[in-house]
Chains A and B, each alone.
Chain A
Amino acid sequence: MGKEKLIEVNNLEVLFKTSGGQITAVSDVSFEMEAGETVGIVGESGSGKSVVSLSIMGLVPNPPGEIANGYIGFRGRDLLSLSQEQMRAVRGNEIAMVFQEPMTSLNPLHTCGRQIGESLVLHGSMEKSNAMKNAIELLGQVGIRNPKQIAKSYPHQLSGGMRQRVMIAMALACRPKLLIADEPTTALDVTIEAQIIALMKKLKEQIGAGIIMISHNLALMAQVCDRIIVMYCGRIVEEGTVASLLSEPKHPYTVGLIASTPTITEERVRLTPIEGSVPNPFSMPAGCAFHPRCRDRMSQCESTMPDLKTHQDDRRVRCWKYA
Chain B
Amino acid sequence: MIDPLLQVKDLKKYFRNSTARSGAAGKWNKAIDGVSFNVYPGETVGLVGESGCGKSTLGRTIIGLHQPTAGKIVFSGEDLLTLAGNSRKQLSKRIQLIFQDPAGSLNPRRTIREAIIAPFAIHGLHSSSERNKIVEQLIVEVGLDIYHLDRYPHELSGGQKQRVGIARALALEPDFLICDEPVSALDVSVQAQIINLLQDLKSKFGFSYLFISHDLSVVYHVSDRVLVMYLGRIVESASYGDIYREPLHPYTKLLMSSNPVLTQRDAAVVAPIAGEINQQNKTTAGCSFADRCPMATGICQEKDPMLVKKSSDHLVACHLYST
Please list the residues of chain A having a beta carbon within 8 angstroms of any beta carbon in chain B: 44-45, 143, 145, 159-162, 189-195, 197-198, 216-220, 222-223, 242-243, 246, 256-266, 268, 270-275, 277-278
Nearest 6 CB-CB pairings of A with B: A273-B192, A260-B192, A194-B258, A189-B50, A262-B221, A194-B272
- Give chain B residues whose Cβ lies under 8 Å from the Cβ of A265: 244, 261, 263
Task: Name the residue in B216, B244, B261, B264 with the highest tally of chain A Cβ atoms < 10 Å from its Cβ.
Answer: B261
Task: Name the residue in A190, A193, A258, A278 with the highest tally of chain B Cβ atoms < 10 Å from its Cβ.
Answer: A190
B188 touches A264 (CB 8 A): no
Contact of A246 (CB < 8 Å), options: B190, B255, B262: B262
* Known interface pairs A191-B254, A262-B218; A218-B187 also in contact (CB < 8 Å): no
Rounded to whole angstroms, the CA-CA distance of A189 and B191 in the bound complex is: 19
Contact of A191 (CB < 8 Å), options: B255, B261, B264: B255
- Give chain B residues whose Cβ lies under 8 Å from the Cβ of A162: 276
Rounded to whole angstroms, the CA-CA distance of A143 and B272 in the bound complex is: 12
* Known interface pairs A44-B188, A265-B263, A273-B196; A191-B272 also in contact (CB < 8 Å): yes
**Closest CB-CB distance, B137 to chain A, in whole Å?**
22
**Closest CB-CB distance, B310 to chain A, in whole Å?**
20
Residue of B whose beta carbon sits closest to that of A44: B187
- Give chain B residues whose Cβ lies under 8 Å from the Cβ of A264: 216-217, 220-221, 244, 256, 259, 261, 264
Contact of B217 (CB < 8 Å), options: A159, A216, A219, A273: A219
A44 touches B189 (CB 8 A): yes
B261 touches A263 (CB 8 A): yes
Rounded to whole angstroms, the CA-CA distance of A270 and B202 in the bound complex is: 14
- Give chain B residues whose Cβ lies under 8 Å from the Cβ of A257: 188-189
Sorting the interface of chain B by its residue count into under 10, 10 to 19, 20 to 34 or 35 or more gives 35 or more
Rounded to whole angstroms, the CA-CA distance of A219 and B272 in the bound complex is: 17
- Give chain B residues whose Cβ lies under 8 Å from the Cβ of A270: 196, 199
Rounded to whole angstroms, the CA-CA distance of A219 and B214 in the bound complex is: 15
Contact of B214 (CB < 8 Å), options: A189, A223, A277: A189
- In the complex, 26 of the A-B residue pairs with CB atoms within 8 angstroms, ordered by the A residue number, are A145-B274, A190-B259, A191-B50, A191-B255, A192-B50, A216-B188, A219-B262, A222-B260, A222-B265, A243-B265, A257-B188, A260-B188, A261-B217, A262-B218, A264-B244, A264-B259, A264-B261, A264-B264, A268-B220, A268-B240, A271-B195, A271-B196, A273-B193, A274-B189, A274-B192, A277-B189
Rounded to whole angstroms, the CA-CA distance of A278 and B245 in the bound complex is: 37
Contact of A218 (CB < 8 Å), options: B188, B244, B254: B188
Q: B159 in the interface, Cβ–Cβ < 8 Å?
A: yes
A159 touches B276 (CB 8 A): yes
Contact of B216 (CB < 8 Å), options: A190, A192, A243, A256: A190
Chain B 260-294 per-residue mask, 1 if CB under 8 angstroms from chain A, else 0: 11111100000111101101000000000000000
Q: B157 in the interface, Cβ–Cβ < 8 Å?
A: yes
A190 touches B255 (CB 8 A): yes
Rounded to whole angstroms, the CA-CA distance of A301 and B135 in the bound complex is: 37
Q: B51 in the interface, Cβ–Cβ < 8 Å?
A: yes
